[in-house]
Amino acid sequence: MELSHHEDVSPGTGALPPRAWYAASDAAALSLNGHWRFRLSPTADAEDDSFAADGYDPDASDAEGAWGEIAVPGHWVLQGHGAPQYTNQLYPFPLDPPRVPTENPTGDHLRLFDLPADWPRDGAAVLRFDGVESCARVWLNGTELGDFKGSRLPHEFAVGELLRPEGNVLAVRVHQWSAGSYLEDQDQWWLPGIFRDVTLLHRPEGCVGDFFVHAAYDHRTGTGTLRVDIPEADVQGRVVVPELGIDVATGEEVTVTVEPWTAETPRLYDATLATPGERIPLRVGFRTVAVEDGLIKVNGRPILFRGVNRHEFHPRRGRALDLETMRADVLLMKRHNINAVRTSHYPPHPAFLDLCDEFGLWVVDECDLETHGFQAVGWRGNPVDDDRWTPALLDRAARMVERDKNHASVIVWSLGNECGTGRGLTAMAEWIRARDGSRLLHYEGDASCEDTDVYSRMYADHAEVERIGRGEDEGPKERRRLPFILCEYAHAMGNGPGGLSEYQRLFETYDRLQGGFVWEWIDHGIAHPTYEYAYGGDFGEELHDGNFVCDGLVFPDRTPSPGLVEYKKVVEPVRIEGDGRAGTVTVTNLHDFAGLSHLAFTWSYEKDGTTVADGVLTVPQVGPGERTEVKLPPPPPRDPDAETQWTVRASLAEDTAWAPKGHVVAWAQLPVEYGMVLPVPGGAAPVRDAAGRRITLGAADFDARTGSLLAFHGREVRELRLDVWRAPTDNDNGMPWRPEPSVASLWRTHGLHRMRHRVDSVETTGEGLTVRTRVAPAASDLALRTEYHWTSDGGKLLLRMSVTPEGDWPVPLPRLGIRFGLPGAAGRVRWFGGGPGEAYPDTAAASLIGVWESDVDAMQTPYVRPQENGARPAVRWAEVGGLRVESDGAPAFTVRRWTTEQLDAARHRTDLTPGDTVWVNLDIARHGIGTQSCGPGVLPQYELRATPRPSSFSCVFSRVDG
């Protein structure tokens, strides 16, 4: 049986050979983006292709009203035709390569266009598609141009004599599923459509064909060597770089003194490539990449990746990103100290790489190739190990390399992601090396590393990474000589990732560890009328992977999540340390190339969280990798009753391309005095009411039977008691595909989400009230003996609580503290402690101690799937709803207008209905976060072990206005 083009393993027919991409030249170009006519069919062959005939009129032949409109670039499933589907590793169709299902949504696209009046009459033209998922067949004015696969790769067709001044009809039939889908099993939504630009390009006589800019830098001589090659058979031209006085023929090499390009110092030189028929503006960055002494070096110096994996995503437009969105990503990254991007798992829109050149980001450019779903069948039939597919693989490699080879930012080519191993990958590697020896090769999936220049892993835990850093890893000898990166780590799904600081410490300690790329940049939540953001399953997919698609450092709308704020702090390129009491500060320059002259250092001195003095800190010039010590000014007079600290900041001294002057790059807080003394109110005696139902202690009323606090200063307080439950985070829930139970499932097995409180005694003494309880889940003999001691001076109320575990607790506790409800307390919140955002034991690097003000609703972190969030750590005091709580135990503090149980039950944020009561948690201890949604769990030092130590906690309640 002969297979039709879409089920054929071949990459396609009719397209021109791939060539370098450039945004614009002086040759005419016509964007065909905009509104196209569109018709969707349920199968690939149900409709005939008469729509592509010359003179076809969709309206005249549209008795059934099949033809609507669609925006190009775009995905039809995000424009009301069909629905998106999400799977991670599994193919959403049977594995029978290269065959695909009969049910194969097929979008017919029609674009009618006239040439502009000034469109040149000479020369030729090509039609360029920058991205179509997953397979397209193209006709112009009734003549078939060809077909192609390779969704995130460009394809050009010569349109020859077919163009006419008016009434051109471009017809494109797109199949959602094709043989190419087997090569595109990335963990993301399946989003068919013409999702990148379509452009008609005039090709004048003597225009530029392909060109390859070679711009190397020799750090020993400080010179750059430039040569721009044009294939021999093509028209040659000249290259002019006015700033460098360069004017050479193509193919000619010239060496001059230059400033090099690095991600930290993205120096680009404007240049022009001119042939008799065309001028193309270029931006040239000189740099040399190599592995030397087992290290990745750029311009002779080792680099450290502070990277992210970036999928292209927009909550309404899917992978059809506009320039503003790409720029927003780059600016956000630069502002958060990120210096590298892995373009997981396909070449991005080409304009994104221009931005990386301009603003300075190292790029690992990854080919559009993943066959992960074959793992489910033991890699049987894996296309990368089947010679029939090799032409398609080579085509993909060539389309990436040829398109992107002129970017200074691209320093590593990646063969693809999660394809297992196979001869096809080796063929790709060989082709790439032969074509471009100036960059490194990456592929994570082959443990032999035979085809690669770096040893790369994903989600290796800290201990293993440390072994690799020490060179104590097992494995082939060749691999042990390679530099190491984590191409994915710190899975940013939901609350987290925890453990970033510990990874960074390893990267900074061992030369061989050259950093990593957090998984991943953005949550792929799709804007949805009911759910706010939809994830897998929300469109009724029969097979899906739920909210695993929401695992980014920014929320779908690109608001930074706490994980990004944490990452920014952890990877700051300047480390400020010191001794607040001694007044000394050590500044370490962690840049790989830059000095510190772009930064201005300041100090401030805070008393009880409020700045009382500030000034400029003079820091001498420190080269990359070096450190210096500076003295802080003499501190203001000592105040024994106050908590005092220094805050030192390094901010941009001038506006840069990516952030304004004053933008904080790095900071540290250096405590001076900390010794909070909690008042111990006492003296008021408890009084029972006549009916014996109530006990009054100062301004507090208790239930005499249960010992519960009912009201304080006349304000109702609900259910104040020990609390250990948290709505499990995605990291608590672990990896669904792993056999071992997650910590959240152990918590549920042990009943920590349904603890019962048995009241054993309620005793009044002259000093106050003591309530003894045993807190335990059904069906278990594990328990927490809990005692509450209440005293008061009439106005203030002191709670001293102690918790003693019973039994041998085999699981860590989620949290340990109290919770209570305050009816009518929504609104303003103030606290002195860590802020402004949330922090957990292993995600607290970015938490600044100060006095903060917010609002209950604003303190909720909007994780797409609701889960534990919003805790502010190390709280000295907090005020909410007219109540002030103080504690010397630096508890974490959470306020929300729903209970933990409601948070736990919610699938989407829209399931949460704010109530009148504000539920407050004060935790003496919390279990860490970890990154077990894909990776290692909570490090031992952040686990909250219940056994064997008893815990105690004190806090004082008082009344404030509000």
List interacting residues with ligand IPT (CB under 6 A): 88, 187, 345, 417-418, 458-459, 488, 491, 519, 551, 934
What's the min distance (Å) between Cβ of 737 and ligand IPT?
8
User: What is the spatial distance between Cα 887 and Cα 889, in angstroms, rounded to a whole number?
Assistant: 5
Nearer to ligand IPT, 458 or 776 (CB): 458
Quickly count: other Cβ atoms within 10 Å of residue 586's Cβ. Answer: 14
Nearer to ligand IPT, 289 or 449 (CB): 449
What's the min distance (Å) between Cβ of 308 and ligand IPT?
13
Written as six digits, the tokens of 292 are 């030397």
Which residues, 6+ apart, have CB-to-CB distance to 193 below 8 Å?
70, 72, 73, 74, 75, 76, 77, 107, 132, 133, 174, 318, 320
CA-based nearest residue to 734, from 867, 552, 932? 932
What's the min distance (Å) between Cβ of 948 and ligand IPT?
36
418 is catalytic: yes
For residue 934, what are the CA distances in angstroms to 275, 319, 488, 668, 731? 52, 24, 10, 31, 8
Burial class from Cβ neighbours inside 10 Å (0-12, 13-18, 19+) for residue 24 reads exposed
Written as six digits, the tokens of 21 are 């991409």
What's the min distance (Å) between Cβ of 337 and ligand IPT?
23
What's the min distance (Å) between Cβ of 371 and ligand IPT?
12
Written as six digits, the tokens of 408 are 């200074």
Which residues, 6+ apart, have CB-to-CB distance to 637 below 8 Å?
none
- Amino acid identity of residue 523, one-letter, is D
Catalytic-labelled residue, pool 488, 643, 787, 838: 488
Nearer to ligand IPT, 491 or 721 (CB): 491
SS (H, E, C) 194-253: ECCCEEEEEECCCCCCCCEEEEEEECCCCEEEEEEECCCCCCCCEEEEHHHCEEEECCCC
The 8 Å CB, 24+ separation contacts for 504-512 are 504/570, 504/571, 506/462, 506/465, 506/466, 506/469, 507/304, 508/304, 508/590, 509/469, 510/466, 510/468, 510/469, 510/470, 511/295, 511/302, 512/294, 512/295, 512/468, 512/469, 512/471, 512/483, 512/484
Catalytic-labelled residue, pool 370, 402, 418, 566: 418
What's the min distance (Å) between Cβ of 456 and ligand IPT?
11
648's enclosing H/E stretch is strand 644-652
Nearer to ligand IPT, 548 or 788 (CB): 548
For residue 66, what are the CA distances in angstroms to 59, 71, 107, 420, 782? 9, 16, 11, 43, 65
What's the min distance (Å) between Cβ of 891 and ligand IPT?
33
- Output the residue with the shortest Cβ distance to ligand IPT: 187
Nearer to ligand IPT, 88 or 786 (CB): 88
In DSSP terms, 923 is beta-bridged to: 817, 892
- Amino acid identity of residue 418, one-letter, is E
787 is catalytic: no
What is the DSSP annotation of 615-644? EEE------TT-EEEEEPPPPPPP-TTS-E
Nearer to ligand IPT, 194 or 341 (CB): 341
User: What is the spatial distance between Cα 959 and Cα 109, in angstroms, rounded to a whole number?
Assistant: 67
Written as six digits, the tokens of 949 are 């130590």
Phi, psi of 342, deg, nearest 5: -100, 125
Which residue shows structure tokens 């948070």?
903
Written as six digits, the tokens of 553 are 């450092």
Nearer to ligand IPT, 345 or 753 (CB): 345
What's the min distance (Å) between Cβ of 525 and ligand IPT?
14
What's the min distance (Å) between Cβ of 617 and ligand IPT?
41
Nearer to ligand IPT, 88 or 921 (CB): 88
User: What is the spatial distance between Cα 909 and Cα 181, in angstroms, rounded to a whole number?
Assistant: 33
Quickly count: other Cβ atoms within 10 Å of residue 614's Cβ. Answer: 14
CB contact at 8 A, 602 and 651: yes
Strands (DSSP E) contained in 503-598 are: 513-518, 526-528, 532-534, 574-579, 584-589
Which residue shows structure tokens 């540290």?
668
Nearer to ligand IPT, 107 or 445 (CB): 445
Which residue shows structure tokens 């201005």?
600
What's the min distance (Å) between Cβ of 519 and ligand IPT?
5
What's the min distance (Å) between Cβ of 364 and ligand IPT?
13
Catalytic residues, which ones?
418, 488
